[in-house]
Amino acid sequence: MSGCASTSLGGLSKADQLGLTASQAVEAISTGRLSAEAYVTTLVAQAEEFSHLNSLITLNKSGALAAAKAVDAKRARGEKLPPLAGLPIVVKDNINTSDLPTTGGTLALRELRPTANAPTLQKLLDAGVIVLGKANMHELAFGATNTNLSAFAGIARNPYDTARVPGGSSGGTGAAVAARIAPAGLGTDTGGSVRIPASFCGLAGLRPSVGNGGPDRRYDGTGVLPISHTRDTIGPIARTMQDVALLDAVMSGSPVATPVPLSGLRLGVPASFWSGMDLQVAAVMERAKARLLSAGIVLVDVDTVGLAELNSKAAFPIALHEAHEDIPKYLAATGAKGITLADIGAKVASPDVKGAMGAVMSDAAGAEYDAAIRIHRPRMQALYARYFADNRLDGMIFPTTIVPAPVIDPVNGSSKISVNGGALVDTFGTTIRNTDPGSTTGIPGITLPAGLTPAGLPVGLAIDGPIGSDRKLVGIGMSMETLLGVLPPPTTSQMKPS
Which residues are tagged catalytic? 92, 169, 193
Q: Smallest Cα–Cα separation from 131: which of 86, 183, 90, 70?
A: 90
Question: Left (φ > 0), alpha (ψ -120 to 50) or beta: where does 404 sit?
Answer: beta
Nearby residues of 407 by Cβ (< 8 Å), 6 or more positions away: 163, 164, 165, 414
For residue 410, give the nearest of 155, 210, 183, 221 by alpha carbon.
Answer: 155
Find all residues with CB under 8 Å of 319, minimum gap 6, and list them.
190, 191, 227, 228, 231, 365
Residue 236 host element (H or E): strand 233-238
Half-sphere exposure of 463 (CA within 13 A, CB side): 32
**Which residues lie across from 131 on neighbouring strands?**
89
Q: What angle is formed at CA 478 by the lines to CA 55 and CA 188, rounded to 5 degrees?
A: 35
Q: What are the angstrom distances between the C-alpha of 467 and each of 191, 217, 408, 441? A: 16, 9, 35, 9
| CA angle (269, 272, 208) in 5-degree steps | 65
HSE-up (13 A, CA, CB side) for residue 415: 12
List C-alpha distances in Å: 442 to 110, 135, 450, 469: 31, 25, 24, 12
Cα–Cα distance, 265 to 298 (Å, whole number): 6
- SS3 call for 33: coil
CA dist., res. 403 & res. 418, Å (int): 9
Tell me the Ramachandran region of residue 141: left when phi exceeds 0, alpha when psi lies from -120 to 50, beta otherwise: left
Provide long-range contacts, Cβ within 8 A and 24+ apart, for 99-103. 99/60, 99/63, 100/58, 100/60, 100/63, 100/131, 100/134, 101/58, 101/134, 102/134, 102/225, 102/334, 103/57, 103/134, 103/152, 103/153
How far apart (Å, rounded) are the C-alpha atoms in residues 474 and 469?
A: 9
